[in-house]
Amino acid sequence: MLEHELYTIIEITDNAVRVQLNPESAVFRGHFPGNPITPGVCQVGIIGEVAGKICGGNLVLREVKTLKYIDILRPSVEDVEVKFDKLEEAGGEVVAKGTVVSDGRVFTKFSFIFSKEA
């Protein structure tokens, strides 16, 4: 789990989760020292974890429909929001589509299918 190491949840609503990145995380010391950025795989991990918070369970990424990194997400960005345009559960699957944004600035666009962990 990345929560508490890489990020802290600030607020959860029905279709969004606001988080604060932890600039002291070991992830940023290794990626890249002096010029840290949030690795794409960590962004995917954050999306899955916060989607699970809304859906009430742990999720496992099953399929990436689309994933576009629009801008570099640095740990200095405050109040990062994972906004879900679609977050639906059906038949043990969760479809998640949305963006990672801060102050109107889009960092990532995504469309994933998760399985609920038993």
Task: List the domain boundaries for the chain.
Answer: 7-116
pLDDT for res 117:
84
From residue 30, give the alpha-carbon distance in Å to each of 23, 27, 33, 71. Answer: 12, 5, 6, 20
Quick one: pLDDT at residue 91? 87
Please name the residue ranges forming H helices in the chain.
Answer: 26-30, 40-55
Instruction: Profile the chain (118 residues) by mean pLDDT over runs of 10 residues.
Output: 96 96 94 93 98 95 98 94 97 96 97 92
34 HSE (CA, 13 A, CB side)? 0
pLDDT score for 83: 98
Residue 101, CB half-sphere, CA atoms under 13 Å: how many?
11
Give CA 88 to chain center in angstroms.
16
At 60 the pLDDT is 97
pLDDT score recorded for residue 26: 93
CA distance 102 to 115: 28
Q: For the chain, how big is the Rg over CA atoms in Å?
A: 14
pLDDT at 78: 81
CATH architecture entry for 7-116: Roll (3.10)
The pLDDT value recorded for residue 17 is: 98
* pLDDT at residue number 67: 98
